[in-house]
Amino acid sequence: MAVPAEGPNPPPPGLAGLLRLLGLQGSLVGVSALSASVAAALGLVPFFVVSRMATAIYAQPPRLDEVRTLALVAVGALLLRYTFVAGSTVLAHVAAFRILHDLRLRIAHKLGAVPLSFFSRRTTGSLKTTLMDDVNQVESFVAHNFPDAVAAVVVPLATAIALVWVDWRMAIASIIVAPFAVGAMAYTMRDGADAHVQWNAIQHRMNSALLEYIRGIKVIKTFGLSAARFGELSRSIQEGLNWMEGFMRTNGRGYGAFGALIGSSLVFLVPAGGWLYSKGELSLEELVLFLVLGPQLLMSMMRLMFAWGNVEKVQVGNARIREILLTPDLEDRAGTRVPAHDGLCFRQVDFRYDEAGPDVLHQVTFDAPAGKVTALVGPSGAGKSTLVKLVPRLWEATGGAVELGGVDVRELPLEQLLSRVSMVFQDVFLFHGTVRDNLRLGRADATEAQLEAACRAARAHDFIRALPQGYDTMLGERGARLSGGEKQRLSIARALLKDAPVLLLDEATAFADPENEARIQEALSELCEGRTVMVVAHRLSTIATADHIVVLEGGAVRDQGTHEELLSRCSLYQRLWASHSDAQDWTLGGADARTSGGMEVAS
């Protein structure tokens, strides 16, 4: 599917932004609005017909032929009206869905292009609200409100002109309450824009809390937390309720006054009409015309008010869409430099997640030589995982440089950089799709033989074959049908298929199942063969056999060297090694557990 990256700039804020959005499908929207106006004007024809009929019926003798003709005109006008309504609706919906499609694609494309830091400042719920609800609001505005709003302006204007032309005094009587109604509307909507901003913010919080609640439902169930106790969700729902009650308390009177005034035009039309009719200054036809059409004039103001309310709502969503579309992409230099080799080098790297936050890495300097295994070890929170994420530019170093083959990774075209790096992390994400689809993320054009070879090497082929439809088995959301170890092996197969020269590996901290662990280790050995490997190491065997070990503490390199060198001189490494070794011997239920069937934590 083509991404409209070359589409118009993000819509400007406010009303201009909405018009720009409408302009994306200008001709469809224009014809739809025109059809809606014609349809609304045709809707007035029966009122004129009724007024003419009154004189025809009360004539002496009654002009029945004219009544019949007028009835046919009314029916014809109504049929024509429905044709225009249908045309307007279809065109408006087509335009709206095209705009919706364009916006969603552009937002999705943008989300794929922005740096990861963009997401750390937002919740998934708020992004979902923009991608779905805000865009839907634009769709609904284009499909429903815009044609309605145009008709709601055009028709009262045309009606007012027609009524003034028939009798200006009665025309004034028809709209005499309008200034008061407008006053009531202005009073009611005085804080309309602010109110929409507040309401939208509450909805965002509600969405985020709801999403988190669903995601964390296992923990909530495990700890017996009911919805009411899940603080943020129940608070945001209560907040929404309070806001709505407050809004209605403040604005209910204004809405009531507006509704009453809009519906009260007959109070003025009946006495004024009766008086003018009795003086012979108004014909029966004109009197009936004002009695049936006069109230309609004000009723269309009601539609205008609803349309305006929606304009404000869409503007709030439009501002959020705009904010996303204006976020700068991760800079992608179309450089011509080619890495001289597949070694990694960290040169005085500083990093912090938040501009205002503390440094997570300071002056980190070390080499991960080509074709060798470099292990990162250190206490929890030392910055090991963060360091690994700087290589594929998931995050950008705030100082110093990360180099691949002697070239700063920021100087390499992103596609080239990413094609050289594979990542196997503990938290494996599998997309909703078949096993084969998930594997092909590694290499889209892989042949069946290549897929199978990679899965055999990753020790995944047998369990995939045992699945109900083998490689065609659908994996549920987040690959729910596979065990943690199986997911790991699938991600190793994916990395094998990608066949990138640099491998970044975040080892799993523990496996409950020794058989699974043994298979994963075999698969990893196949994967590491001949590549530059940088591994966040948790296993003794990986640590002891690594070519180079970097010891991190508090975001800085404490020491580096081989296992033997570090054991002889680095006290932190000695402590880490000792605690790893202790963990190796540790079993749940004491030393006897192995023989008595207790669960082993480490094999």
Ligand X SMILES: Nc1ncnc2c1ncn2[C@@H]1O[C@H](COP(=O)(O)OP(=O)(O)OP(=O)(O)O)[C@@H](O)[C@H]1O
- Tokens, residue 318: 């439009």
Query: Of the listed pieces 375-383, 402-410, 437-445, 522-530, which binds ligand X according to CB under 6 A?
Result: 375-383
Smallest gap, in angstroms, from Cβ of residue 320 to ligand X? 23
Query: Of the listed pieces 168-176, 262-270, 382-390, 568-576, which binds ligand X according to CB under 6 A?
Result: 382-390
**Closest CB to ligand X among residues 247, 353:** 353
Name the strands in the sheet holding 556-561, side by side, starting at the edge strand that comes first in the sequence: 421-424, 502-506, 532-536, 373-377, 548-553, 556-561
Smallest gap, in angstroms, from Cβ of residue 536 to ligand X? 6
How far apart are the C-alpha atoms of 116 and 392, rounded to whole Å? 11
**Closest CB to ligand X among residues 524, 576:** 576
- Tokens, residue 280: 């012979």
How many Cα neighbours within 13 Å face the side chain of 180?
14
Give strand pairing partners of 351.
361
Q: CB within 8 A of 79, min separation 6: which ones?
A: none
Among 383, 392, 405, 479, binds ligand X (CB under 6 A): 383
DSSP state of 552: E
Q: To which residue do tokens 């806001």 refer? A: 243
Smallest gap, in angstroms, from Cβ of residue 459 to ligand X? 25
Smallest gap, in angstroms, from Cβ of residue 601 to ligand X? 17
Q: To which residue do tokens 């990360």 refer? A: 402
Name the strands in the sheet holding 407-408, side by side, starting at the edge strand that comes first in the sequence: 361-368, 344-351, 399-404, 407-408
The reply to whether 574 sits near ligand X by the rule CB under 6 A is no
**Closest CB to ligand X among residues 170, 387:** 387
Smallest gap, in angstroms, from Cβ of residue 118 to ligand X? 12
Q: Which amino acid is at 145?
A: N
What is the DSSP track for 355-394?
TTS--SEEEEEEEE-TTSEEEEE-STTSSHHHHHHHTTTS
Given a contact cutoff of 8 angstroms between Cβ atoms, the answer to whether 447 and 528 are in contact is no
Among 243, 268, 353, 425, binds ligand X (CB under 6 A): 353
**Closest CB to ligand X among residues 33, 550:** 550
Query: Of the listed pieces 313-321, 378-386, 463-471, 484-492, which binds ligand X according to CB under 6 A?
Result: 378-386
Q: What is the signed CA dihedral for 257, 258, 259, 265, rounded to 10 degrees?
A: 100
**Closest CB to ligand X among residues 304, 360:** 360
Query: Of the listed pieces 125-133, 149-157, 373-381, 576-584, which binds ligand X according to CB under 6 A?
Result: 373-381
Smallest gap, in angstroms, from Cβ of residue 92 to ligand X? 43
DSSP H or E stretch at residue 345? strand 344-351
Query: Of the listed pieces 280-288, 379-387, 559-567, 588-596, which binds ligand X according to CB under 6 A?
Result: 379-387
Smallest gap, in angstroms, from Cβ of residue 427 to ligand X? 11
- Tokens, residue 432: 């909703």
Query: Of the listed pieces 288-296, 318-326, 380-388, 497-505, which binds ligand X according to CB under 6 A?
Result: 380-388
In three-state secondary structure terms, 534 is strand
**Closest CB to ligand X among residues 37, 386:** 386
Smallest gap, in angstroms, from Cβ of residue 352 to ligand X? 8
The reply to whether 392 sits near ligand X by the rule CB under 6 A is no
The reply to whether 120 sits near ligand X by the rule CB under 6 A is yes
Among 135, 360, 497, 570, binds ligand X (CB under 6 A): 360
**Closest CB to ligand X among residues 34, 409:** 409
Smallest gap, in angstroms, from Cβ of residue 216 to ligand X? 18
**Closest CB to ligand X among residues 120, 574:** 120
Smallest gap, in angstroms, from Cβ of residue 505 to ligand X? 13
Give strand pairing partners of 506.
536
Given a contact cutoff of 8 angstroms between Cβ atoms, the answer to whether 546 and 371 are in contact is no
Give strand pairing partners of 475.
433
Among 208, 386, 516, 560, binds ligand X (CB under 6 A): 386
Instruction: Tell me, rounded to whole angstroms, the distance of Cα 445 from its chain centroid.
Output: 30
Q: CA geometry: angle at 294 spanning 255 and 162, to 5°?
A: 125
Q: CA geometry: angle at 341 spanning 340 and 347, to 5°?
A: 90
Smallest gap, in angstroms, from Cβ of residue 553 to ligand X? 9
> How many residues interact with ligand X (rule CB under 6 A)?
11
Among 99, 202, 382, 424, binds ligand X (CB under 6 A): 382
The reply to whether 378 sits near ligand X by the rule CB under 6 A is yes
How far apart are the C-alpha atoms of 55 and 171, rounded to whole Å? 20
Task: Kindly report the backbone phi and psi dihedral angles of residue 205, in degrees, each rounded to the nearest multiple of 5, phi listed first.
Answer: -65, -40
**Closest CB to ligand X among residues 259, 381:** 381
- Tokens, residue 341: 């080799």
Among 60, 380, 447, 595, binds ligand X (CB under 6 A): 380
The reply to whether 327 sits near ligand X by the rule CB under 6 A is no
Query: Quick check: bond before 61 cis, omega within 30?
Result: yes
Smallest gap, in angstroms, from Cβ of residue 376 to ligand X? 8
Among 385, 416, 521, 587, binds ligand X (CB under 6 A): 385
Smallest gap, in angstroms, from Cβ of residue 402 to ligand X? 15
* 3-state SS track over 259-278: HHHHCCHHHHHHHHHHHHHH
Given a contact cutoff of 8 angstroms between Cβ atoms, the answer to whether 344 and 402 are in contact is yes
Residues that bind ligand X (CB under 6 A): 120, 353, 360, 378, 380-386
